[in-house]
Structure 1
Amino acid sequence: MEKALKSHFDGKEDFDVEFRLKHKSGEYKWFHSRGAVKRDRSGKPKRMSGSISDIHAQKLVGGKIERLSQVAQQIPISVIITDEKGNIQFVNQALIKLTGYSQEEVLGKNPRIFKSGESPDTYYQVLWNTISQGKEWRGVFHNKKKNGELYWESVLIFSLKDINENIINFIAIKEDITEKKQMESTLIDHERLIRSVVNNLKDGLVIANLDGNIQLFNHGAEIIFGYKAYEVMNKPVVTLIDEPYKEKHLAGINSFRTTKLLSKQNILLEAQGIKKDGSPVPVELTLTQMEQRGEVLVIGLIRDISERKEAEQRIELAQQQIIATQKLAGIGELAAGVSHEVLNPVNIISVHTQVLQKNTTDDPKIQNFCAKVLHEIDRIV
């Protein structure tokens, strides 16, 4: 301060300095002083007048702003500060690195230079109306880099106000979520693919939780059991099981609820389900378990084997018919054999009896005997 006063008295420069003084409280505070020397005709200093003002609060705020600026430059997310009209006054290094623009190219410009053109103007109008009222705005932008490459960012915008509650700045904190969006897109594509596969399975797919309540019921299951998915969601899976199998199923559910392990996993089973109309349906069932977000689930892959069972019944009936035919054929062969062995001797007897009858016409007893023999032969033949 003494150097500044001396320089001013020597006429070298104006007196305009900032300095610290010790306050009555013992704290050192910042002050700002301006002054000017009045001189006589010969140029010698006669007196000095000026002003002194307390700038301690401003210095503290300025220090905080400087520290915040240093933090903003070092954090890995983008920061933009604009004036109350939306013109860019500050950008940090993260934004420069992300967008490919230099500070000189963005300072004084409107953030619309990052627009990709994919969002409607109404989207930005809602944004501006929100922050102009001093409210914060959160959303997502699909913006464009200097090289034309598109990127996604999650954005928080809020305002800074002066002591009179007038908005003096807008601050935007923006996080690059391009990779996250790509992962989400991939997951959505995979989910759609899985849903398409599940819903186009000809077999039924039923998923139940630890309590045995249905959590998924695909189109194949709808065809097999006649229910729509919404009719059985969160209903006991025992609803789909025919009466003779229910007791065994409930015992299995109780065991599974205790041990959280399936006793028959990945084993092909045959059971009988019950349709919505009450008619039974034979099914082939494979059970497996999985864990999703800490919840144990049972997956049942179900195939309607009605046609197979009917085919098996037809085959069994045909086999029975073949066996019966074979038995009849055997009996016929036996009968033919017996007929051959019996008829040859009978024919010989018949011939001899007829000769005897012809040569003994004068003996009534022999004639009567021959007539009886020939009658019995006719019965046999």
Structure 2
Amino acid sequence: MSTPQSPLRVIAVGGAGSMGRWAVRTIARLGTASVLTVADIDLDRAERVVASVGGPTRALRLDATDPEQLRAAFAEHDVVVNTMGPFATFVRPVLQAALDSDCHYLDINDDWQPTIEAFDFDADARRRGLHVVVGLGGSPGVTNLCAAHAADRLDVVHELHTGWKLSGATIVDEPGFPAPAASAAVEHWLHQCAQPIRAWVDGAPGSVEPVEQVDLCFPGLGVVTAYTMGHPEPITLPKAYPGLRSSLNLQSGPAWLFDYLREVSARFAAGEIDLRTGAALLADPPAPADPGARSTLPIEWALAVGEKDGEPCRVAVYPRHFHPAKMGGNTGIPLAVGVELLRRGALRDTGVHAPETVMDPREFFDLLAPLTDAGLRDADDLLAVVEERA
């Protein structure tokens, strides 16, 4: 294994995909890797990524459904970066092969079910002295670390919520890498909105219905509306803040679109349509003539509710700037920052972690800021921190 400060040998599973490409580009830009393997089932796309990035990159055709191929590919690397969805299918086998190959592992998993499964590997990762970070993208990832930054400004934390805006969750076409009409991200969205989801309710794990309306008092904005979603922040944040009463992940956007989402999700849950058909319907929704008011919530955010100096207090933390590639950049770049923190020896502990229990928010956002916008210097430039006493 490489020493903490030396460049790492990194393999990116799904590295030619919409999020994987941005992770690869940023790892190369930061000088994190001496070897950077773009591993993908589509070798032609992987080779195009390598041609555009250069430096330490090389292409490899990899079938992530083949455990022997995974272990053979990982054997010559220090770190596995996983952007391969659906994560309910690929987290367990890719993580198992990474540990079997004595590789650290980081991913952008945004499903709550495989997040729970990933913690089954904690003892093995600790025994091997390996770092495993699950859910290091936009939501989860940036939102988790915003939540930690908000919670740390309170003396007591009662509620810790995270959220994201639909307008930021789109794939931007790139020359040579056209986005499909209905992407895997849309299929994931439908799947997570068609079944009860795990959250933190009344101080314990509980289930909530998807796409339920939730009204919040958001510092600086007043009362805002969002809708429940099955991202895994409510699974992991209570591990860092065990006294929490409530934690939800919430999505925001136009009300009419969530009404339509409920209709399509109900048809999918009832077996009237399959996943691909449902995703195609959601990718081209019938917008009304009057779409109504736009959500005022940020693209990614966290809200901590609790007490400070003996008084009720709310703290909102969110990035003020985002990458122009939208979901590709806002997901892949944070993952690359995590790999760079690993190279620097800045991860707090071995074993399986979500971002908030293994990395310092300030260090993370100091690195992320100039990668989001060239004019930004550090976390202070990037983050809005809004505090209100009740």
| TM-score > 0.5 by shorter chain | no
TM-score normalised per structure 1: 0.19
TM-score normalised according to structure 2 size:
0.18
> Larger Cα Rg: Structure 1 or Structure 2?
1
Query: Which is helix-richer, 1 or 2?
Result: 1
